[in-house]
Chains A and B, each alone.
Chain A
Amino acid sequence: MKKQKKYFKSPYIKGNEEYLHNEFSEKLPLDGLFEDDKQLSSTATSRRDFLKFLGFSTAAAVLSSCEAPVRKSIPYLNKPEEIIPGNPNFYASSCFEENVFSSLLVKTREGRPISIKSNDKYLFNQGGLNARTYASVLSLYDSSRLREPQDKEGVFLENVDKKVVDRLTKINNQGKQIVLITPTIISPTAKKVIALFSKKYKNVKVVYCDSISKSGILDSNKDCFGDRFIPTYEFQKSSVIVSFGADFISEWIDTGHAKQYGKTRTPGEEMSKHYQFESLLSLTGANSDKRIPVNPEEQLKCMLYLLEKIEELKGVKQSVNIQLDKHQKILDVIANELWANKGKSLVLCGSNNKDEQVITNYINNLLDNYGKTILTQVRSNLFSSNDNDLDIVIKDALDGKVGAIITNDYNLAYHYPKSKEILESNKIDFKASISQYLDETASMMDFVIPKSNYLESWGDFNPYTGVFTLQQPTISPIFETRQSEEILLNWSGDKTSYYNYLKKSFESEKKNWNDTLRDGVYIKQQSEKKYSFSVNITKHINNCLNMLEDKKEFICLYSKSSMGSGLQSNNPWLQELPDPISKTTWDNYLTISPAYAKKLNLKNWQVADGALNGDVVDLSFNEQVYRLPVYIQPGQAYGTFGLSFGYGRIKAGKVGNNIGVNAFELYDGNQLVQKDNFSIKKVDNMEHEFACTQISHTMMGRAIVKETSLSEYLKDPESGNEAMKFASYKGDVSPSELKLYEEHKPAMHFWNMSIDLNKCNGCGACIIACHAENNVPVVGKEEIRKNRDMHWLRLDRYYSSDMNKDLAAEQNTGAIQMYSEMEEASSAENLEVVFQPVMCQHCNNAPCENVCPVAATTHSNEGLNQMTYNRCIGTRYCLNNCPYKVRRFNWFNYKDNDNFDYNMNDDLGKMVLNPDVTVRARGVMEKCSMCIQNIQKAKLDAKKEGRKVRDGEIDCACETACDTGAIVFGDILDKSSRVVKEKKDPRSYVLLEELNTQPSVFYKTKVRNKKV
């Protein structure tokens, strides 16, 4: 190196031809390097160079050690052409679980499904996803899924198919029954497979089970129309809706109803009027214009009285004559309104009792709603179970007629506890379960065959008459699993993969497979049978009258939007999703009305750290005793106890096990209401710890959710939203006019979000969508209890209060007493509920930004408040100074931490993480970013294509998730955008305007369809 350097010269320099022949004109100084070290030491440079290298490499080592830890990343051996690292792919697919059908788009990154949204190609108006469907993507990565076929002892089974087939044929030859228990199947091809299966083994009995049965409706229609089916309901066409305990917004027969219902809730002349008779405070009741709390028997009476009134109005002969002690006046009003809106109304009933459903049908028929708001020709195939089928199976089994029982993706032992008897007994010589989990049922079976998740499966669905969708896998099976169709197919002797089978059967459609697969949905004319209504009403009325035993206490079973029937109870997102009404997480409890609680001397109270505790009761039912905490629920009917399905799992997995009681054990005769042989006893000196995300009940008379009545609104669109004025030297001005300095000029975009409180029904799907998009951690019950939930987007629920300022002024009540009374929710009769989604308001005068000493949270010139995680030192000053309290602090390390053993603590669960969003470290503040990653993506796409960002192009998780379109996100500088229209609306207002934080999020007044 010390030697003088020679640079390579072009060989074409004249007179230097020897370059052409011999590249290195002089000898390379290699000799000596490899010869004796004497020469080596003589070269003065070597040691110094060595030191240089040494120094350099040390420095390099030091530098590299300062870097963030290096993680495994394995490059593609040969890259799949459709995958571009960093770009998401969307696949149209469908999901049918727990009788909820949804057509969806699956977002995948590098071959991993990471989130779900509804398929916009699916135009059939019953679209819409619920929270469980959004969360199902996490269930795909559930580490407690079955990984391989196994037997009772959990030992791996070699070529299980052969074994099964042998056993089945043996049983078949014995002439014994093979019972296949499966949930309702809406897939034509799957039906074919089952046909094939029952053809192979002659004596096969297929039992369709719906965990929460709708047999009542099916049977009632059989009586009225002579065919067992569920019609489709056209809420968007109905201007008067009367529901007797049907929670159609959250959990009735179709998730799409919420969307349709939302369409009728735009304030104006044609805004629908919604009456709700119910025992528990359901989401639907909370959204109704007038809610009448009644216990189940009163509810039935009211229905009969309504029938009487309608008949009277129609002038047909009175089939019933019933006396009501109360609610008579309101029912007269309702009857008249219904009659006035003949053919534009709906009467619904939530009961699973045939007779009640028949009455409902009858009323609807009197109102000529069939064919207009209730379509009998377009049927919904989502439910098909028949209540007494299982009882028969049990009987047969006990008689020894049943040789084999196979459950397909149905948790028999959990949903139908009676069945344990036969599953435990050795009366059946072959028991197999096709299941995703080693659940209560599978753990009792001889053969457990793992089933693929729906995101790993093929399929075709026919949810409604004429509507067909396709299901395609978005990831190759993670474990050694097959989808149940394929398993059955193989057992029936057909060795082809289900994919080919499906494709073959699709050929009959005469459609292009790829296009259909891309769209995920296709329409096909199906023969629409005409039905004529004819029923002997008196019989059913008499049955109903016999049901009126004048009972005082009732157990009312319901299902939460988060848990449903408990299929996904091992999903931490859902466990931590607060119940929309009670705001309680991770818990199953007995709800009871405040008045009745006082009677039974049951209490809820706050402990020192502000968390909620409650008394515990022993609920004895059919000689069984269940220990349950009591949650006091305003607005609930006197004398009713509410209990939710979906809990009390014992074999769900580390997250879902041993939470509360299995309500299916009280689901006697598939009736949601139980009045007989049960009793409640308070357990002394024992208390239960609840984990609520909201403790307080009311708005304390503050204008947080601004509300008005339709009549007022029609008079003055600004009613309830009167402009706030401050007295100033300029005269009375709005807070935003009082400025110390001028605002910053916005850049090309200025993002705003509008939230219509009239459309928001509080379902909470947006929360789960936000979790999936932004890697929001799960913190568990203890932390939630300490008010340390990490939800970037929370849904505030406020009850109305009987006390208000004007009243206090009249009665000249003192301030202290007034406020203490304001904290109480109103009495059940006149309780009203409002919901308000609150995320970071992205204030343009953000209090949080000013106070951060290290400028970790600053404002973008596009109107967004941005959090710089890796700059945050965690002083929590911003949190204190945030009037909306939307900032979330990482109190602990929530990832790779055994104290928080949820999806972020195992490698499989981590696969759901969105690679575009940082996983936040301990001690760092975080909050809603308006899905900045998607904003950037949209901007880049637009830039590449040399256009402006299109309105609605940006995928804000909560906006996309909102079926009713309550949330609208857009660019306020783009004059044509929807959000500009929303902002111009006289109903629009910003939260806590008096603080003049100038949020980029604004709300729209809630309008209730009532007179004042």
Chain B
Amino acid sequence: MHYKSPVREPLILGNKDLHDITVDIARPIETKANRWWWALFAISFAAMLWLFGCIAYLIGTGVGVWGLNNSVGWAWDITNFVWWVGIGHAGTLISAVLLLFRQKWRLSINRSSEAMTIFAVVQAGLFPLIHMGRIWMAYWIFPLPNQFGSLWVNFNSPLLWDVFAISTYFSVSLVFWYMGLIPDFAMIRDRAINPIAKKIYTFLSFGWSGRAKHWQRHEVISLVLAGLATPLVLSVHSIVSMDFATSVVAGWHTTIFPPYFVAGAIFGGFAMCQTLLLIARKVLDLQDYITIKHMEYMNIIILVTGSIVGCAYLTELFIAWYSGVELEQYAFLDRATGSYWWAYAIMMTCNVISPQLMWFKKLRRNILFTFILALFVHIGMWFERFVIIITLHRGPLPSSWHDYSPTFVEIGTFVGTCGFFLVLFLLYSRTFPVIAQAELKTIVKSSSTKYNKNLHYLDAAELEKMNKINKKK
């Protein structure tokens, strides 16, 4: 019944059976948080407070507290927006696309990466709001007739497309995530001793009972949601890229943007997955479920998408030269050699060169290296968006050329969102089943070292090492 490939590494180590999984997944929720967790939480909470402070000051005083000017109307705000949205993509991708491709290794990481998606999109959503001059009028972006008569929204505007794309993306990911959570909440519920916790988890589990028919439907909707989420995830970042691609600004008006942005998003998103999971598996000791193999798989994806992004950069340059359009050519020349050349250099190094190191299996499977490289990718992807947006500082008319530099408010807002994001993720990691245990249990037979001894013989040495690590604790 379960197809067993002879040459597969185990995805679940440490001789786990169904019950062990239940226990391991429930542990973070049922036990107290360790020092690591509290330290991290304290830092990120402080950062979050800073964020809210900055936003209050911004809204109280005016957008002028940012460094923007008459030529550069967007800078850090939209850079951060695109960066966060991009990060969001990996989650949906892992759970949707890999589900469609029946990739078993997704199971131990999809829950957390979906959580990451949700929290990242929350951060992303902040920026289009606070970058408005009159945030108190923000509801006008929804198709409501305004109070002075039937003045509606403008469906030609990519910004409005964003509104639909982001809200759809957020809500659908949320639902997808939650549907997966219901059976796991049920598991927690049935283990819960504390009556209040039991009530809460009963509430959250929607009274799931695990009947055969329910499971059957559940599988169907998971599959359909995956089928819907896959084009959705591609569309969202395409639409975000259209904010630039549909404009007339040289350096923005580029037809390659949609695929290039999507690839970039996956690239950055997987890096964020790495960062979070590398911490999570340590802090919540889930090394048995999030194994080196998972890291390696993700690193391979980072390598592939990173290379795609690199190709996109080169294509851009080539097309700029090939188009013969002077403004276009100058825009790219200015990126590489103008006042923001350093940003361009950072982008190229972090996004194009560094991922290529993943060709080496040793590095691919090295945890520390993976962690550092992931950080590189974050930086690189942030600067990619910055480099694109800052093209504004030299428009078609030299008379309006003017450089830009951020104020402490902009920096604070960005750092703050990182804090906010971590706060959410840390809270999640203590209260939610961080691994889709119900789904995971379906592959125990095929992928756990306990049931499937003949998994071992592929590089047994490393397997030993891993098992040692597990024994230590």
Contacts and interface: CB of A to CB of B under 8 A. Distances in A.
* Chains A, B in direct contact (C-beta < 8 Å): yes
A892 B64 contact: yes
Contacts of A609: 67, 69, 403-405
Interface string B158-172: 111001000000000
Interface stretch (B188-196, B197-205, B358-366, B390-398): B390-398
Contacts of A874: 63, 132-134
A884 interface: yes
The bracket for how many chain A residues form the interface is 35 or more
Contacts of A853: 141, 153-154, 157, 159-160, 163
Contacts of B133: 872-876, 889-890, 922-925
B247 A891 contact: no
B156 interface: yes
A264 B153 CA distance: 52
A925 B330 CA distance: 28
B140 A873 contact: yes
A922 B140 CA distance: 17
Contacts of A606: 339, 403
Interface in A811-863: 815-816, 819, 836, 838, 847, 849-855
B403 A889 contact: no
B152 interface: yes
Contact of A852 (B157, B249, B326, B401): B157
Interface centre among A608, A875, A924 (most CB of B within 10 A): A875
Given A700-B398, A819-B330, A853-B160, A847 B247 contact: yes
Given A879-B73, A883-B396, A873 B153 contact: no
B64 A704 contact: no
Contact of B399 (A794, A871, A881, A921): A794
Interface stretch (A5-13, A91-99, A176-184, A785-793): A785-793
Contacts of B132: 873-875, 923
Contacts of B128: 875
A481 B148 CA distance: 47
Interface string A413-425: 0000000000000
A828 to B, nearest CB: 21
Interface stretch (A287-295, A397-405, A691-699, A974-982): A691-699
Contact of B403 (A610, A796, A870, A924): A610
A28 B160 CA distance: 63
A605 to B, nearest CB: 12
B401 to A, nearest CB: 5
Nearest to A891: B64
Contacts of B400: 694, 884-885
Contacts of A923: 62-63, 132-134
A880 interface: yes
Interface residues of B, number: 59
B62 A877 contact: no
B411 interface: no
B67 to A, nearest CB: 6
B337 interface: yes
B402 A796 contact: no
A839 B240 CA distance: 31
A702 B329 CA distance: 13
Contact of A838 (B68, B247, B399): B399
B402 A610 contact: yes
Nearest to A855: B154
A458 interface: no
Contact of B247 (A695, A696, A851, A890): A851
A700 B331 CA distance: 12
B146 interface: yes
Interface centre among B134, B141, B325, B330 (most CB of A within 10 A): B134
A602 B390 CA distance: 31
Given A851-B158, A853-B159, A892 B247 contact: no
B333 A816 contact: yes
A893 interface: yes
A873 B398 contact: no
B405 A608 contact: yes
Q: Is the interface of A mostly helix, strand, loop or mixed?
A: loop
Contact of A847 (B68, B248, B398): B248
B312 to A, nearest CB: 22
A789 B70 contact: yes
B333 A880 contact: no
A890 B61 CA distance: 12
Contacts of B397: 704, 796, 838, 883-885, 991-992
Interface centre among A787, A887, A888, A995 (most CB of B within 10 A): A787
Contact of A819 (B146, B246, B333): B333
B76 to A, nearest CB: 13
A483 interface: no
Contact of B137 (A694, A704, A873): A873
A609 B340 CA distance: 11
Contacts of B146: 871
A798 interface: yes
B151 interface: yes
A375 B249 CA distance: 55
Contacts of A883: 248-249, 395-397
B138 interface: yes
Interface centre among B64, B325, B397, B405 (most CB of A within 10 A): B397
Nearest to B389: A880
A997 interface: yes
A847 B246 CA distance: 10
A997 B248 contact: yes
Nearest to B67: A609
Given A794-B399, A874-B63, A995-B248, A702 B333 contact: no
B333 A892 contact: no
A788 B69 contact: yes
B71 interface: yes
B74 interface: yes
Nearest to A815: B333
B70 A873 contact: no
A836 B400 CA distance: 12
A704 B396 CA distance: 9
Nearest to B398: A696
B248 A881 contact: yes
A197 to B, nearest CB: 53
Given A788-B69, A850-B246, A875-B131, 16 more contacts: A610-B69, A695-B401, A702-B327, A787-B69, A847-B247, A851-B159, A852-B157, A854-B153, A875-B132, A877-B157, A883-B249, A883-B395, A883-B396, A889-B73, A891-B63, A923-B62
17 contacts: A608-B405, A610-B401, A610-B404, A695-B401, A700-B398, A704-B397, A704-B398, A783-B64, A815-B333, A816-B333, A855-B153, A876-B68, A876-B73, A881-B248, A891-B62, A991-B397, A994-B327
